[in-house]
Amino acid sequence: MIRDSILSDNITGLSAMGSGTPEVEGTAFENNNTAVYIGDTAIADLGGGAKGSSGFNTIIGTSLSVDNQTANPIPARSNWWGCPTTAEMDAGQANITLIYDEEDDPLLGPVDFTGWLGGTNRNMTVQSDTAAGARDIVLTWPQEPTGSLTILRGTDPQSLSSVGSTAESSWRDVGALDSPEPLLFYDIDGPCP
């Protein structure tokens, strides 16, 4: 499994070849020419597939997000694809510009991107703040949103619920370090710039 990794500034972020079946979740693919290449008889589980990936990958800044050169269907559900690709998905476009699959060549399998994540500023950092007795978690992102962002939190990535909102470039979860849950997951949802 590839989890919580950053694959950036490469020709290809991840190449699945032969009969490989990588499971990928919570991973950022940034500024690669091709984020994910799948060839031969490989099947990469980028979210919602038989290997059990929950998705929640970030795939941005690429010339090609997923290049499926197999006849296999590739599960890639519950991922953030960046604003231009998300706009195509929101519009119901079948042939997504940065996904190469059966829409481009009928001999290839489809890439299932259903359940894509909306929102903006997906490069979020999470830090704890214990200065002066604080027990907080602070979320920050690189730019101010163009509208209000909803902050989501939960004990696993598939059971997130709203805990606040902001129109700023950061948000503080006061007292989160005192939470009885051993691990908290965060996400943000809101308008693209």
- The pTM score is 0.67
pLDDT at site 183: 64
The residue among 175 and 102 whose pLDDT is bigger is: 102
- pLDDT at position 120 is 42
pLDDT digits (tens, 9 = 90+) for 135-159: 888 887 666 666 677 777 777 766 7
Question: DSSP string covering 114-173, please?
Answer: TT----S----EEEEE-GGG--EEEEE-SS--SSPEEEEEESSTTS-EEEEEESSSEEEE
- In order of their start, the domains of the chain are 2-112 (no CATH), 125-189 (2.60.40)
**Between 161 and 106, residue with greater pLDDT:** 106
Cβ atoms within 10 Å of 120's Cβ, excluding its own: 21
Per residue in 47-101, pLDDT (tens digit) is: 999 999 999 888 988 999 999 999 999 999 988 898 788 888 888 899 999 999 9
How confident is the model over 161-179, as pLDDT tens digits? 788 888 777 888 888 888 7
Residue 121's pLDDT is what? 40
Convert the pLDDT of each residue in 21-35 to its tens digit: 999 998 989 889 999
